[in-house]
């Protein structure tokens, strides 16, 4: 994703944990997903704490992870 970095964990679990970092390397988002990158839950980080995202942000996150999945396959 533009102006961000992150990592994805998938060690033998049916779920994936994705962290995304902003341009300043501050933690920005955490996603709990299925192996197919369907976002089950989504949290944003502010002031060192994670907060649950609202349902509209969760829907938008599913769109972002779909794009990420396509990029990984390429």
Domain ranges of the chain: 5-73
Please choose, from the candidates 68, 74, 1, the residue with its C-alpha nearest in 3D space to the C-alpha of residue 33: 68
Alpha helices (H) along 1-74: 55-73
Output the pTM of the full model.
0.66
Q: Residue 21: helix, strand or coil by DSSP?
A: strand
pLDDT one-digit tens code per residue, 13-57: 888 888 877 777 777 788 888 887 788 898 988 887 889 988 888
* Order of all β-strands in the sheet with 15-21: 5-9, 15-21, 27-34, 39-46, 49-52
């Amino acid at each position: 994703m533009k102006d961000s970095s992150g990592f994805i964990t998938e060690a033998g679990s049916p779920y994936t944990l994705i962290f995304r970092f902003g341009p300043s390397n501050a933690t920005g988002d955490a996603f709990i997903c299925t192996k197919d990158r369907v976002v089950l839950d989504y949290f944003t980080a502010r002031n060192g704490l994670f907060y649950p995202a609202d349902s509209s942000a969760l829907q938008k996150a599913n769109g972002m992870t779909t794009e990420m999945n396509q990029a990984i396959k390429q």
